[in-house]
C-alpha cells in the first residue's frame, strides 16, 4: 500500500520537477526565438565598434588593445592574412571554427555563429564555450586584413551577485521541500492515529481515547469518531448487561421448575403438596412464557424495518376492550375503576398500542393494594391525545423515575418481590410511544399513587 505521506512526497516532487521542466521549456523557446538573435546582434555591434576603432585610430599596440578588451570580459580570436591565429583572454573549451568561416570573414563578410549555431537544442548554447559560438568581423590594420572573432567570457560575466541569487534559489528549493515534508507529516499524523483507533474499535476495544485536538476537518472527524466509539461502547455494555439479565431471568424460574419437578417425582407425596408444587411449576412456566413474549416484542420493536402498520381506529374502544379483558383481575382485587374516555379516532399501529394500555393497566393493578382505585382518562386535544392511567397505589420514589424505561429495571425488589414482573413492560410502553412520535410522562409519590400520561400526536 502506498502511504498518504509517500503520495504527498511524490506529488510535491513531481509538481516541482514538472514546473521546473515547463519553466525551462518556456525560457528555452524565448531564448531561441528572441534572445539568441538579440545576443548575436549585441555582440556583433561590439565587434564592429572594436573593428571601427582599430581602423580609425590604428592603436600602436594592437595586441595590448586586444588584451585590454579580453580583460573586460571577452574571448578574442584574431586571424591574419597568413592564417596565423592569436588568442586573447581565456582559451575556448572547443576550438571548432570552420576554415570556411574564417575565409569568409577575411573576404569581408560577417560571421553570425552566436545566432546560427544549430548544435545546441537548449538555451545552454548561450553558455556554450566554443569558438564557433562567436561573432566574426573583418578589419584592416596597417594595410593588412584580419578576421576578428569574439564572444563574452561567461565566467567573467557571472559575478558574485549571480552566485548569491543562484544560491538563494537552491536554498529556497531545499527549505520549501523540507517544510512541505514536515507539514505533510504533521497533517498525516492524526490520520495514522485515527486508523489505529479504528482498528482497536474493530477489535471491540472501546476504551481508548483519541489524542487529537485540532479545529480543522480532521479534528471534527476525530470528535465524531470519539462520539461514535462512546456510543458503541455504551451499546456494547448494554448488550452484555441485557444478555446477563436475560440469562438471569430465565435461570431462576428454570431452577424452580427443576426443583419442584424433582419433588413431584416422590410417589408418596400428599395430594395437597403435589397440587401446590404443580401450581409453582405452572406459574413459573407462565412467567417464562410472558418473558419470552415481551422479549420477542421488544426485539421486533428494535428491528422494526418497515414502518408501523398505521391504520385509523377508535382509541377509546381499544382501551375499553383492554379493560374488559382484565376485568376479572379488577374484580378479584376489588378495585374501583373510573373511566372517562373521549371518542377519539386516531392513526397508529393498534397491535403495538394495545400492549401499551395492557402494560399500564396491569402495572396499576399490580402495584396498588386490594381495594384501591384506578382512573383511566382519554382526552382529545387539537394536536394530540392524552391517555392517563392513574392509581392510588405504592408510588415510585423520585430517584428511581429516571430508570423506569430501562430494560429489566424493577423498583425496590425487596418490596415488590412477591409481585410478578419482568421489568420489561415500561420499556415496551416507551418504545411503542416513541415509534408513534409521542411521549410518556410520569408523576408519582410514594404511598400516594402514580400517574402515567401518554401523549400521542394526532397525525
When binding is defined by CB under 6 A, the residue of 75, 151, 410, 436 that contacts ligand ADP is 410
User: Which region among 63-71, 119-127, 332-340, 415-423 touches ligand ADP (by CB under 6 A)?
Assistant: 415-423
- Is 390 one of the binding residues for ligand ADP (CB under 6 A)? no
Query: Kind and range of the H or E element at 416?
Result: helix 413-416
User: Which region among 29-37, 67-75, 323-331, 393-401 touches ligand ADP (by CB under 6 A)?
Assistant: 393-401
- Is 363 one of the binding residues for ligand ADP (CB under 6 A)? yes
When binding is defined by CB under 6 A, the residue of 364, 378, 387, 455 that contacts ligand ADP is 364
Residue 124: DSSP 8-state: G
Q: Ramachandran region of residue 108, left (φ > 0), alpha (ψ -120 to 50) or beta? A: left
Report the alpha-carbon distance of residue 199 to residue 209 in Å, rounded.
13
Taking a C-beta distance cutoff of 8 angstroms, is the pair 105, 111 a contact? yes
- Is 391 one of the binding residues for ligand ADP (CB under 6 A)? yes
Report the alpha-carbon distance of residue 443 to residue 396 in Å, rounded.
9
Residues 60-99 that bind ligand ADP (CB under 6 A): none
When binding is defined by CB under 6 A, the residue of 125, 152, 421, 438 that contacts ligand ADP is 421
Q: Considering the complex, what minimum distance in angstroms separates the CB of residue 215 from ligand ADP?
A: 45
User: Which region among 155-163, 164-172, 232-240, 410-418 touches ligand ADP (by CB under 6 A)?
Assistant: 410-418
Count of residues that bind ligand ADP according to CB under 6 A:
22
CA dihedral 385, 391, 397, 400 (to 10 degrees): -50
Residues 261-320 that bind ligand ADP (CB under 6 A): none
Q: Which residue has the cell 499524523?
A: 189
- Is 423 one of the binding residues for ligand ADP (CB under 6 A)? yes
When binding is defined by CB under 6 A, the residue of 125, 372, 393, 438 that contacts ligand ADP is 393
The DSSP-derived string for 59-123 is: -S-HHHHHHHHHHTTEEEEEE-TT--EEEESSPPSB----HHHHHHHHTT--EEHHHH--S--SG
C-alpha cell at 285: 412456566
Task: Classify strands 336-341 and 373-380 as parallel, antiparallel or unpaired.
Answer: parallel
When binding is defined by CB under 6 A, the residue of 102, 404, 455, 456 that contacts ligand ADP is 404
Residues interacting with ligand ADP, by CB under 6 A? Answer: 359, 363-364, 367, 391, 393-396, 404, 409-411, 416, 421-427, 450
Amino acid at each position: 500500500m502506498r502511504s498518504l505521506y509517500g503520495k504527498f512526497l511524490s506529488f510535491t516532487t513531481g509538481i516541482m520537477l514538472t514546473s521546473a521542466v515547463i519553466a525551462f521549456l518556456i525560457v528555452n523557446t524565448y531564448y531561441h526565438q528572441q534572445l539568441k538573435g538579440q545576443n548575436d546582434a549585441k555582440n556583433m555591434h561590439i565587434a564592429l565598434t572594436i573593428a571601427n576603432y582599430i581602423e580609425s585610430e590604428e592603436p600602436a599596440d594592437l595586441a595590448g588593445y586586444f588584451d585590454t578588451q579580453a580583460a573586460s570580459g571577452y574571448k578574442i580570436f584574431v586571424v591574419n592574412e597568413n592564417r596565423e591565429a592569436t588568442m586573447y583572454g581565456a582559451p575556448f573549451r572547443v576550438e571548432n571554427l570552420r576554415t570556411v568561416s574564417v575565409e569568409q570573414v577575411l573576404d569581408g563578410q560577417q560571421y553570425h555563429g552566436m545566432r546560427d549555431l544549430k548544435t545546441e537544442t537548449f538555451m545552454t548554447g548561450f553558455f556554450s564555450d566554443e569558438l564557433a559560438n562567436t561573432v566574426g568581423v573583418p578589419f584592416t590594420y596597417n594595410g593588412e586584413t584580419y578576421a576578428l572573432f569574439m564572444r563574452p567570457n561567461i565566467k567573467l560575466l557571472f559575478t558574485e551577485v549571480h552566485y548569491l541569487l543562484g544560491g538563494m534559489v537552491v536554498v529556497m528549493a531545499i527549505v520549501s521541500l523540507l517544510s512541505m515534508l514536515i507539514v505533510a507529516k504533521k497533517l498525516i499524523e492524526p490520520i495514522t492515529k485515527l486508523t489505529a483507533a479504528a482498528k482497536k474499535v474493530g477489535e471491540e476495544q472501546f476504551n481508548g481515547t483519541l489524542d487529537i485536538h485540532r479545529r480543522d476537518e480532521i479534528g471534527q472527524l476525530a470528535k465524531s469518531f470519539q462520539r461514535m466509539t462512546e456510543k458503541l461502547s455504551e451499546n456494547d455494555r448494554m448488550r452484555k448487561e441485557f444478555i446477563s439479565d436475560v440469562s438471569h431471568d430465565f435461570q431462576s424460574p428454570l431452577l424452580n421448575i427443576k426443583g419442584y419437578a424433582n419433588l413431584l417425582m416422590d410417589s408418596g407425596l400428599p395430594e395437597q403438596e403435589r397440587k401446590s408444587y404443580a401450581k409453582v411449576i405452572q406459574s413459573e412456566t407462565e412467567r417464562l412464557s410472558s418473558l419470552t413474549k415481551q422479549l420477542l416484542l421488544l426485539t421486533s420493536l428494535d428491528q422494526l424495518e418497515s414502518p408501523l402498520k398505521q391504520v385509523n381506529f377508535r382509541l377509546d374502544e381499544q382501551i375499553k376492550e383492554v379493560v374488559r379483558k382484565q376485568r376479572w383481575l379488577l374484580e378479584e382485587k376489588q378495585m374501583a375503576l373510573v373511566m372517562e374516555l373521549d371518542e377519539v379516532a386516531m392513526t397508529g399501529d393498534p397491535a403495538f398500542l394495545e400492549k401499551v394500555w395492557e402494560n399500564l393497566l396491569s402495572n396499576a393493578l399490580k402495584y396498588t393494594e386490594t381495594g384501591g382505585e384506578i382512573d383511566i382518562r382519554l382526552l382529545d386535544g387539537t394536536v394530540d391525545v392524552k391517555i392517563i392511567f392513574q392509581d392510588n397505589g405504592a408510588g415510585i420514589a423520585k430517584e428511581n423515575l429516571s430508570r423506569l424505561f430501562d430494560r429489566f429495571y424493577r423498583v425496590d425488589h425487596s418490596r415488590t418481590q412477591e409481585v410478578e414482573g419482568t421489568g420489561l413492560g415500561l420499556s415496551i410502553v416507551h418504545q411503542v410511544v416513541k415509534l408513534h412520535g409521542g411521549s410518556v410522562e410520569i408523576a408519582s409519590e410514594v404511598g400516594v399513587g402514580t400517574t402515567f400520561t401518554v401523549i400521542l400526536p394526532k397525525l
